[in-house]
């Protein structure tokens, strides 16, 4: 039962991925006991399921996804939220109770233009996604900066077993949130660190399909920090 690809290998529509006792997931289809890619993307094998993660295309909402969005409008009946998708999302007052670290709840009011991190609790083709902030770690995002990356690159920003996001938190800022919709929010106390973080995120986005990326990112952070330190030294002499 051969597999004709390595994990995260770029494959094309119609390309033969495997044959035998495998199941087709998103971005693939099965025909005559063979599995083919239906899109251009990264082939992934998990257990017996073969999927292809698209390299292009907008974010498609999924129940359970953690997303970062911006409030489009607000009323007593609820809010509409831009989640970087073809669909805008809704959040109702009953799901706007933000939980603190000790599970204490408080009702949160939002103004148009404010950012939040939320969870998709309902979505199908008959209605837009519905959000909640009624879990620890969700709620209003105050201040900080927002940048967009391609949604398919989010797993690479998180890293295997959280290795990449752990590195970013240790080396740059622990105030960083990543939405599965390709939105990254972060806050730092330094313009220099902010610039380094943006550069690093763009590097991860560009090189997401390559191996050894975490080590290269670590070296890039070290290099950029040294360059910034040298600039400061020159300015002070």
* Tens-digit pLDDT profile for residues 167-226: 999 999 999 999 999 999 999 989 999 999 999 999 999 898 788 899 999 999 999 999
Q: Which two tokens stand for residue 214?
A: 């975490």
Distance from C-alpha of 99 to C-alpha of 35, rounded to nearest angstrom: 44
State whether 98 and 123 are in the same domain.
yes
Do the domain assignments include residue 4?
A: no
Domain termination site, one of 112, 141, 170: 141
**Residues near 185 by beta carbon (within 8 Å), at least 6 away in sequence:** 68, 115, 117, 141, 144, 145, 146, 176, 177, 179
Q: Quick: pLDDT tens for 105-137.
A: 888 999 999 999 999 999 987 889 999 999 999
State whether 124 and 149 are in the same domain.
no
Domain termination site, one of 102, 122, 141: 141
Range of the domain at 159: 145-233
State whether 28 and 73 are in the same domain.
no
Do the domain assignments include residue 85?
A: yes
Do the domain assignments include residue 2?
A: no
Give CA 123 to chain center in angstroms: 18
Number of domains observed in the structure of the chain: 3
117: domain CATH number is 2.40.50.140
State whether 227 and 154 are in the same domain.
yes
Distance from C-alpha of 26 to C-alpha of 131, rounded to nearest angstrom: 23
């Amino acid at each position: 039962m051969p597999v004709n690809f390595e994990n995260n290998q770029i494959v094309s529509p119609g390309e033969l991925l495997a044959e035998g006792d495998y199941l087709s997931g998103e971005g693939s289809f099965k025909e005559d006991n063979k599995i083919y890619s239906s899109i251009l993307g990264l082939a992934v094998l998990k257990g017996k399921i073969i999927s292809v993660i698209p390299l292009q295309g907008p974010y498609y909402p999924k129940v359970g996804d953690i997303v970062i969005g911006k409030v489009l409008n607000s009323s007593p009946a609820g809010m509409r939220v831009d989640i970087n998708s073809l669909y805008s999302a809704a959040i109702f007052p009953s799901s706007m109770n933000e939980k603190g670290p000790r599970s204490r709840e408080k009702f949160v009011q939002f103004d148009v233009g404010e950012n939040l991190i939320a969870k998709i609790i309902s979505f199908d083709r008959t209605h837009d996604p519905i959000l909640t902030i009624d879990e620890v770690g969700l709620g209003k995002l105050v201040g900080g900066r927002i940048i967009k990356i391609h949604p398919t690159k989010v797993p690479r920003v998180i890293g295997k077993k959280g290795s990449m996001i752990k590195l970013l938190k240790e080396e740059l800022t622990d105030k960083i949130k990543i939405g599965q919709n390709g939105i990254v929010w972060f806050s730092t106390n330094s313009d220099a660190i902010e610039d380094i973080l943006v550069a690093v995120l763009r590097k991860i986005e560009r090189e997401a399909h390559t191996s050894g990326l975490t080590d290269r990112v670590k070296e890039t952070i070290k290099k950029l920090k040294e360059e910034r330190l040298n600039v400061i030294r020159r300015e002070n002499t």
